[in-house]
A and B are shown apart, each in its own frame.
Chain A
Amino acid sequence: MSLNRRDFLKIAGITALGVGAASAFEVLSGKQLEAALKAAPLTAGKRWAMVVDTRKLREEDYHDVITACHTSHNVPDFSGTKDEIKWIWAEPFENAFPDSPNEYVKPEVKDKPFLVFCNQCGDAPCVRVCPTKATFKGEDGITMMDMHRCIGCRYCMAACPYGARSFNFRDPRTYFADKEVPNREFPTRTRGVVEKCNFCTERLAKGLYPACVEACKSNALIFGDLDDPNSEVRRILRANFSIRRKPQLGTDPSIFYIV
Chain B
Amino acid sequence: MKLYDSGKIITGIVIFVILMTFPFWFNMGRAAPKPDPKLPKNVKNCVLPKDTIKTSHMQILNNWRDEVVRDNKRSFVAFDGKHFDKSLSNTCMKCHSSKKQFCDQCHNYLKVTPYCWDCHIEPKEPKESKETAEAKEPKETK
Contacts and interface: CB of A to CB of B under 8 A. Distances in A.
B77 to A, nearest CB: 7
Given A29-B77, A33-B83, A187 B69 contact: no
Contacts of A37: 75
Nearest to A29: B77
Contacts of B77: 29, 33
Interface string B44-78: 00000000000000000000010001111011010
> Dominant SS at the B interface?
mixed
Contacts of A136: 70
A183 to B, nearest CB: 8
Interface stretch (B8-16, B28-36, B117-125): B117-125
B142 interface: yes
**How big is chain A's contact interface, by range?**
20 to 34
B20 to A, nearest CB: 40
Interface string A29-51: 10001001100000000000000
Contacts of B101: none
B72 A187 contact: no
Contacts of A185: 89-90, 121
Interface string B83-113: 1000001100000000000000000000000
B67 to A, nearest CB: 12
Contacts, number: 41
A27 to B, nearest CB: 12
B69 A184 contact: no
Contact of A187 (B74, B121, B123): B121
Contacts of A146: 69-70
A201 interface: yes
Given A29-B77, A36-B142, A148-B65, A187 B89 contact: yes
B121 A190 contact: no
A140 B72 contact: yes
Nearest to A186: B121
A27 B59 CA distance: 23
Contacts of A138: 72
A243 interface: no
Contacts of B83: 33
A3 B72 CA distance: 49
A224 B70 CA distance: 21
Given A29-B77, A33-B83, A187-B89, A139 B72 contact: yes
Interface of A: 29, 33, 36-37, 74, 136, 138-140, 144, 146-148, 173, 181, 184-190, 201, 205
Given A136-B70, A139-B71, A185-B90, 4 more contacts: A33-B75, A148-B69, A187-B120, A188-B121
Interface of B: 65, 69-72, 74-75, 77, 83, 89-90, 115, 118-121, 123, 142
8 contacts: A29-B77, A33-B77, A74-B121, A144-B70, A184-B121, A188-B121, A190-B118, A190-B119
